[in-house]
Each structure stands twice: as structure tokens, then as C-alpha cells.
Amino acid sequence: MADRLQKTANLFARMWRDYLHPYWARIALALVFLILEGSTLGLLSWMLKPLFDRVFVGGNTDAIWWVGGVIFTLFLIRAMTFVINRSLMTSVSLAVSTTMQRDMLRHIMALDGDFFQKNPPGALIERVQGDTIAVQGVWSTFISGAGRDVISLLSLFGVAIAVDPMWTLAAMVGAPLLILPTLLVQRYIRRKMRQNRVNASQRATRLDEVLHGINAVKLNRMEDYQTDRFARIVDSIRRGQIKMSAIGATVPALVDIVTGLGFLGVLALGGAEVTRGERTVGDFMSFFTAMALAFQPLRRLGSLAGTWQVAAASLERIYDVLDLRPAITSGPRREPPPDTAIRLEDVRMSYDGHPVLNGLSFTAEAGHTTALVGPSGAGKSTVFNLLTRMVDPDSGQITLGGVPLREFDLGVLRDQFSTVSQDAALFDETLRENILLGHPQDDAALRRAVEAAHVAEFADALPQGLDTSAGPRGSALSGGQRQRVAIARAVLRNAPILLLDEATSALDAQSERLVQQALDGLSVGRTTLVIAHRLSTVRQADKIVVIDAGRVVEEGNHDQLIAQDGAYAALVRLQFGET
Ligand code: ADP
């Protein structure tokens, strides 16, 4: 329990340091207004003493005006401070959640591939949006709601003690009843809330998968199956929330009972004193009103008992992500490599203990085209991922221009490569934005790229030209068109090394010719590595590297390898149906 408390306190302390601290001035100002607003309740009950003793009992009608004036002013102050507080706190809590969302996205983007393997997009979306908003909501209710209520209670308490300390004690007879249930409820809500956030992640993941795979869902008639799975998740969220709200309501309910007991106690003790004339009616009314006014804030605070656990659960999930450190990090070198020769030496690499590359070694000469061929699953794409450091090898050395990859700044390293593949990630933006990718270029350069990549052929025929939307994930374009957009990107990037993943699915003859022309133009003068699926590409390559089971089995040019009549010749017969 103490451990938990310590951990939660640490979480909130970190949040203060990382996110709230810059706004301390605004928070301090809000606190001043909170104190003002909260203390009006105490003053209000205090004013009842002169109201009763002087006006009602004393018969002094003049006092009506000044007492009434003071009471009205108190309400006026409450109204104004409420508005000021609300705007101050909203501006702080929104600023905090916005900064958190931005930080999380930036941080998540820097994490390694295996993180994304373990955390599906839906779950991550839920973390960035759902968790930060959960923290934001609680934070604002906490400060503006709980803060004001605590101040109100303190001021009412002050009035109560000033009127009669013994009555105050009597009013609190039931208070110890609250302690244990409050602690238990907090623990319960924290546990449930964590489960609830996990369920919310699953809900987002299911939605993401269904909506992205909508065609597969329809074609395989999975609608009922997916609906059932989704219904089970939302149902368990619903059940969890009902339980949380029922259990959470027990504390405010107990506040009712405890207050009832308090009234009884005060009546028993104070009622007798007033009738005996030891205390005035004003004293009693003042005290009674303070108690009555304390009732609502106390109840609200009771229902907040679980609410801050909600923030703790989400905050924990946010920091779980922010505390992850990527294994793939930038090196110090910011100059580009002296040349673009690529060398792999005895590279070994595995995914989750399953070996994929088993001592792979080859060289791709600068300015030449090297074709990687081999059966599916041989490890060809893994080579691309290693070169761009999407993954790092378990052992072995990879150099670019003689410099180990790890020495480069990641941005500088990735700037050396342009990758073109058919499943190029297109965004739901215009063709223009999909080609520029956030790096502005002048129109002439864009036009040259669009023409070189044969994008112009189809873009110019569209009513909005380059300003046509590519659709979600580029779904408004055909495979060949997507690939040509990817080529246009590569032309603009003008990186010295080209990584080409040839399409496995057949393009129609016309598309294929255009794509081929565009690629040929692009690879001129660049170091090119191509995962080849077309015989024409392999034939033209300066060097062919045949990979099987994560190892190089043969190396040479087409004629040499055919003459050897080994693995390559067999592959050519199998894959291309000819020799
Ligand atoms: P190729 O491009 O030659 O078809 P890949 O390099 O894509 O082969 O894959 C090589 C092996 O690595 C395959 O057995 C594949 O299942 C495995 N693999 C690739 N990516 C991952 C991953 N992210 N997690 C686990 N295994 C992977």
C-alpha cells in the first residue's frame, strides 16, 4: 500500500516537473482565485450569525441591508472567480494534454521495430489520445473541483470551530467510518481502471484492423464474427464502468450517512445549550449552515476518491511508453560517407530467436547495380532493413563507404537511401503532398520528378491533377501508379543509393514498361540494390547475389552464374521458366 502510494506520488511529481511546471504562474493565480471562491462559503455561513442574532432575534431591521449586501457580494465574488478559474485551469490542462500528445507521438516514432510488432496501431492511438485525455480530464476536475471544495471545507470548518469546538467534534462522530471504505474503493478503482484502459486499447485495435481490412472482412464474410468480437470487448468495458461507478458511489453515499450522524450529534449537544439560553440562535444557525454547506463539497470529494486513481492509471501507461528507450540510436557522424560502396561481413540476425541471416557477406560496388535474388523468406528484405537501420544485426559488420553504419547520425544515414517498392506507404493526402513528403520544392523540380517517374501520364488526366487525393493508404491508385509515385519521391530525394523492391504482383504490360523506364532513369549513376523478380533486371545487373536461408550461395553476373549451373540457374528455371 505504502509502496503504491509512493509510486503514484512519483508519477504525479514527474507530471508536475515535465508538464505542469511551465504553467506554475497560471496555476498559482488559479489557486488564489480558488481560495477566494472556496472561502465565500465559510463567510456565507458566518454571516448567518448577525442575521439571526441582530435581525431576527434582536429586531434590528437596519442590519438587513448591510448583511444582505455582504451576502450578495459574496455570491458576486463566487460567480466571477468561477469563470476566471475555469478558464485558467482549462487552458493549463489543455496545454498539458496537447504537449503530452505531441511528445508521445515524437517519442513513439523513434522506437524500434519490435515495439511496433508488439503494440498494434489501434492500441497506440488509444494511448496517445485516450490516456492523455483521461489525464487531462481528471487534472482539471481535480484542481478546479477538488481544490475549491477543499478550500470551502476548510473555511466552513474554521467557522464551525470558531462557533464551538465541541460541536465540531460532535459533528464529526461518524467521520472515522469513511476511512477504510475510501481506501478500499481507491484500490478497486485503480485496478478496474487499468483493466479498462487495456480493454479500450483492444477496442481501438479491433476497429483499426476491421476498418483497414474491410475488403478482407467483406470477402470472407467475417461481419458477424468481427461484430461478436467487438461486442465482447465493448461489453466488458461497459460492465467495468458500471461496477466502477457503483463502487465509486459508495463513498459519497457514506458521506450522507456520516453527515446525518453529525447532525444528530450537534442537535443533541447544541440544541440543549440553545434552549437553556447558553448559546444564541445565531450561533446555532451559523454552525448548522456551515455543516449543511459542507455536505455537498464533502460528497463531491468522496466521489473524487476514485477519480484521481483514473489519472494515475493513465499516467502510468503514458510514462511506460515515454520511458522506453530505442535500441537503434544515432551515431555521432554527420558527414555523408566518402563513397557509397556497401559491405556486409558475416552478418547474423534473428527475429525473436529465430535466425534469419546466418553469416551473410557481400559487397555492392558504388555506382553499380547489385541484384539480390533467392526464394521468398531468404532474407532479402531484411538486408534493406539492416542498411537503413530499421533493425540492427546481432553480430557482424555493415559499412557504407567503409564507415560502420552505427557511426552515422540516423537522419544522415537514411538520407543516403531512396527506397522504392510497390507497397510504398501512401498517405491520405494529395498526390503533390505524397510526392513532396513535407520537403517543399519549387514547381519546376516537382514537374521534372513527376515526368521522370511517369506520374504525369495519369496525374494530368485527373480533373484536379496533382491535387487529387490518393485516398486512404493510396487506395485510389493502382499498384503501378503507387509505385510511380514512390519513384517520383525518390527522384526528388536524389539520394545516392537506391533500394528497389520489384513488384511481385504482375503489372500490366503498359504499367510495367513505364515503371521500368522510370526506374532505369532513376538508377543511372546511383548505387542500386534491387530485390529482383524480373529476368530483365537480373540480366542487366552488374552483379547478382543469390541468397538462400540467410546466406550468400552464389555471386557473379548472369552469364557466369548460368555457366556454373548451380542455385541461380535452378532459380531462373523455376522462377522465370527459362535459362
Ligand atoms: P525475403 O525478402 O527474402 O522474402 P525477408 O527478409 O522478408 O525475406 O524475411 C526473412 C525471414 O524473416 C522470413 O522467415 C520472415 O518470416 C522473417 N521475418 C521478417 N520480418 C520479421 C519480423 N518483423 N518479425 C519476425 N520475423 C520476421
Per-residue model confidence as pLDDT tens digits over 256-293? 888 889 888 888 888 888 889 888 888 888 888 888 88
Tell me how far the alpha carbon of residue 540 lies from the centroid of ligand 1, in angstroms: 27
Provide the H-helix boundaries in 418-508: 431-436, 443-452, 456-459, 479-493
Between the CA of 16 and the centroid of ligand 1 the distance, in Å, is 43
Q: What is the mean pLDDT of the chain?
A: 88
CA–centroid distance, 439 to ligand 1, in Å, is 32
10-323 CATH, one of 1.20.1560.10, 3.40.50.1370, 1.20.120.550, 3.40.640.10: 1.20.1560.10
Confidence (pLDDT) at 504: 58
- First-last CA distance in the chain: 74
Task: Yes or no: say if 551 and 396 are a contact pair by the CB < 8 Å rule.
Answer: no
Tell which one of 118, 373, 382 to mutate to probe ligand 1, the residue whose CB is within 8 A of the most ligand atoms. 382
How far is the centre of ligand 1, averaged over its atoms, from the C-alpha of 379 (Å)? 6
Per-residue pLDDT at 579 exceeds 50: no
Grade residue 59 by pLDDT with cuts at 50, 70 and 90: confident
The pLDDT of 527-541, averaged and rounded, is 88
Q: Which atom of ligand 1 is nearest to the CA of 391?
A: 23
Under the phi-then-psi rule, with left for phi > 0, alpha for psi from -120 to 50, and beta for the rest, what region is 214?
alpha
Q: What is the pLDDT of residues 350-361, one digit of tens each?
A: 998 899 999 999
Distance (angstroms) between ligand 1 centre and the Cα of 37 equals 63
Q: Which residues contact 31 (CB under 8 A, 6 or more apart)?
A: 147
Is 0.85 topped by the overall pTM?
no
Determine the distance separating the centroid of ligand 1 and the alpha carbon of 169, expressed in angstroms: 72
d(CA 133, CA 129): 6
Atom 25 (ligand 1) nearest CA: 351
Would you tell me how many other CB atoms lie within 10 Å of the CB of residue 57?
A: 13
Q: How far is CA 9 from CA 4, 158, 228, 312, in A?
A: 8, 29, 40, 9
SS3 419: strand
pLDDT in tens, 125-138: 999 998 998 888 77
Give long-range contacts, CB 8 A cutoff, 24+ apart: 400-407: 400/337, 400/340, 400/341, 400/342, 400/497, 401/337, 401/338, 401/339, 401/340, 401/341, 401/366, 402/337, 402/338, 402/339, 402/341, 402/343, 403/333, 403/337, 403/338, 405/331, 406/331, 407/331, 407/332, 407/333
Q: Which atom of ligand 1 is nearest to the CA of 547?
A: 3
CA 427 – ligand 1 centroid, Å:
25
Measured in degrees and rounded to the nearest 5, phi and psi for residue 553 equal -100, -25
For residue 511, how far is its CA from the centre of ligand 1 (angstroms)?
A: 28
Alpha carbon distance 318, 304 (integer Å): 21
Contact of 447 with 501, CB cutoff 8 Å: no
Q: Above 90 in pLDDT, residue 306?
A: no
As given in the structure block, the three cell numbers for residue 68 are: 444582505
What is the C-alpha to C-alpha distance for residues 372 and 541, in angstroms, rounded to an integer?
A: 10
Q: In the prediction, which pLDDT does 385 show? A: 93
What is the whole-number distance in angstroms between the Cα of residue 382 and the centre of ligand 1?
A: 6
Per-residue pLDDT tens over the stretch 99-119 = 999 999 999 999 998 899 899
Pocket test for ligand 1, best of 116, 344, 354, 356 (most atoms within 8 A of CB): 356
Q: How far is the CA of 351 from the centre of ligand 1 (A)?
A: 8
- Ligand 1 neighbours, Cβ below 6 Å, are 117, 351, 356, 374, 376-382
> For atom 21 of ligand 1, which residue has the closest CA?
351
**d(C-alpha 390, C-alpha 571), whole Å:** 29
Ligand 1 center from residue 350 Cα (angstroms): 9
**Residue nearest atom 15 in ligand 1 by C-alpha distance:** 377
Among 381, 529, 546, the mutation site with the greatest number of ligand 1 atoms within 8 A of its Cβ is 381
Q: Check: CB of residue 30 under 8 Å from CB of residue 144.
A: yes
- Which ligand 1 atom sits nearest the alpha carbon of residue 379? 6
For residue 355, report the distance from its CA to the centre of ligand 1, in Å: 10
C-beta of residue 388 within 8 angstroms of C-beta of residue 417: yes
- Estimate the share of the chain in helix, then strand, then coil, as percent rounded to the nearest 5: 70, 10, 20
CATH 3.30.565.10 fits 342-576, yes or no: no
Q: Atom 11 (ligand 1): residue with closest C-alpha?
A: 377
User: Can you count the helices (H) and strands (E) in the chain?
Assistant: 23, 10
Report which ligand 1 atom has the smallest distance to the Cα of 383: 6
Query: Whose CA is closest to atom 16 on ligand 1?
Result: 377
All 3 cell numbers of residue 483? 509505385
How far is the centre of ligand 1, averaged over its atoms, from the C-alpha of 380 (Å)? 8
Return the best residue to mutate from 119, 349, 351 for the ligand 1 pocket (most ligand atoms within 8 A of CB).
351
Q: Where are the CATH 1.20.1560.10 domain residues in the chain?
A: 10-323
Residue owning the nearest CA to atom 19 of ligand 1: 382
Indicate which atom in ligand 1 lies nearest the CA of residue 372: 3
Decide if pLDDT at 506 tops 60: no
Side chain identity at residue 102, one-letter code:
R
pLDDT of residue 399: 96
Q: Are strands 417-421 and 395-400 parallel, antiparallel or unpaired?
A: unpaired
Determine the average pLDDT of the residues in 316-325. Answer: 93
State the closest ligand 1 atom to the C-alpha of 550, by its place in the atom list counted from 1. 10
Quote the pLDDT of residue 578: 56
* pLDDT cut 90: percent of the chain above it: 41
Q: Where in the chain is the domain with CATH 3.40.50.300?
A: 342-576
Distance from residue 354's CA to the centre of ligand 1 (Å): 10
| AA identity, residue 388 | T
